[in-house]
């Protein structure tokens, strides 16, 4: 049976199985990669400080990276289906700029010069909450300016305007305070180094909540590919459906941004990597995009720790370079 006669579900099943195997393999790699390079995680099972490092630092970081990527991959697939644009990405509605502004404002008002690295748990959760509120606030401002989610083009333009304005305000705060500038670099470049078990709990809760809703709304995304008139002919309330999709997009993005900062290109690249194998229905595309996003960020996290150990590369820089390179190659292949 060749690739042209295989049923689409078989390709999708093989893809999900491969992504599952890659997730487990990267989990093992993540447990073994530290500041001194690679060490087999099996040597840590005997207990002692090595076991403490593995359990309290490496395991939640690796799992948290997968969950952040899974949320961004899901959000990217929802955004591309909602706007019917393959270049749409999770930060399109102002969530990233709103989160960045909230974090910068918190640092300025409270006079703190450290983002999270040596701060207490109260301060860490406070900044996480501020980022989440800012991300949701950015999306709500976009919806207000667009007068709801009834018109896709108006929603898209409002998101661009909100992103530019809130981004400019964040830059103004960073220029005003050199300490805030230094502290914000961790957030702006993306960081998985501080993901712990509490962060994993928040991310898992968000993923388990938005994934079933997104799958239930996949029929709306399928119909949108044929036009808005098709959606209305099926008796689907388009306004409410768009609002629900925007809510899924906002919650998934806000949870990811609040825990790991601005991680670039994962939400944009993940749907493209799986679309050929899950092109018949959005339900398959949403799940595969989420799995691919998790694998991409998990791999980037391992590489960020390993490439120049004992130093680390900001994971957002790595995803931007790799994701941007992939999209440039994809554009070149299609043009040629």
pLDDT in tens, 206-253: 899 999 999 999 888 888 777 777 667 767 777 788 888 888 888 888
Contact 130, 222 (CB under 8 A): no
* Most confident listed range (89-98, 264-273, 292-301): 292-301
Domains in the chain and their CATH numbers? 23-335 (1.10.3470.10)
The pLDDT of residue 311: 80
Quote the pLDDT of residue 308: 78
Per residue in 50-63, pLDDT (tens digit) is: 777 788 888 999 99
For residue 4, pLDDT over 80 is answered with no
Model's pTM, two decimal places? 0.86
Across 308-336, average pLDDT: 77
Element (H, E) at 37: strand 37-38
Q: Which two tokens stand for residue 173?
A: 């705060």
Q: Which residue has the tokens 């830059």?
A: 171
Q: Contact, 130 vs 102, CB < 8 A?
A: yes
Total count of residues recorded for the chain: 336
pLDDT digits (tens, 9 = 90+) for 166-200: 989 888 888 877 777 777 777 788 888 878 888 89
Nearest one of 330, 316, 331, 311 to 68, comparing CA atoms: 316
Mean pLDDT of the chain: 81
Residue 123 CB coordination number (10 Å): 16
What is the C-alpha to C-alpha distance for residues 127 and 103, in angstroms, rounded to an integer? 6
Please, which residues bridge with residue 38 across strands?
Answer: 33
Of 58-72, 99-113, 252-266, the range with the highest mean pLDDT is 58-72
- Residue 118, classified by CB atoms within 10 Å of its CB into exposed (0-12), middle (13-18) or buried (19+), is exposed
Phi/psi at 38 (nearest 5 deg)? Answer: -90, 130
């Amino acid at each position: 049976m060749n690739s042209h006669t295989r049923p689409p579900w078989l390709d999708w099943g093989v893809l999900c199985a491969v992504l599952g195997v890659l997730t487990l393999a990267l989990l093992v790699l993540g447990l073994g990669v530290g500041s001194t390079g690679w060490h087999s995680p099996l040597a840590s099972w005997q207990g002692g400080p090595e076991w403490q490092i593995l359990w309290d630092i490496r395991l939640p970081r690796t799992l948290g990276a997968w969950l952040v990527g899974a949320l961004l991959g899901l959000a990217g697939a929802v955004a591309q289906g909602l706007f019917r644009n393959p270049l749409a990405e999770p930060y399109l509605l102002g969530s990233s700029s709103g989160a960045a502004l909230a974090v910068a404002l918190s640092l300025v008002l409270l006079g703190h010069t450290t983002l999270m690295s040596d701060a207490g748990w109260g301060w860490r959760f406070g900044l996480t909450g501020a980022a989440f509120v800012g991300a949701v606030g950015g999306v709500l401002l976009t919806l207000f300016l667009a007068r709801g989610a009834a018109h896709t083009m108006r929603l898209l333009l409002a998101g661009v305007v909100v992103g530019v304005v809130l981004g400019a305000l964040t830059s103004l705060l960073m220029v005003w305070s050199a300490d805030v500038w230094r502290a914000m670099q961790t957030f702006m470049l993306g960081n998985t180094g501080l993901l712990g078990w509490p962060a994993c709990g928040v991310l898992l809760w968000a993923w388990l909540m938005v994934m079933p809703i997104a799958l239930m709304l996949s029929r709306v995304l399928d119909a949108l590919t044929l036009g808005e008139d098709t959606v209305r002919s099926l008796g689907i309330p388009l306004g409410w459906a768009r609002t629900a999709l925007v809510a899924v997009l906002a919650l998934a993005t806000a949870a990811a941004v609040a825990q790991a900062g601005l991680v670039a290109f994962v939400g944009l690249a993940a749907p493209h990597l799986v679309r050929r194998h899950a092109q018949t229905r959005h339900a398959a595309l949403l799940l595969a995009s989420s799995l691919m996003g998790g694998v991409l960020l998990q791999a980037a996290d391992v590489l960020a720790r390993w490439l120049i150990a004992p130093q680390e590369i900001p994971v957002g820089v790595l995803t931007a370079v790799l994701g941007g390179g992939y999209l440039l190659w994809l554009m070149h292949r299609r043009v040629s």
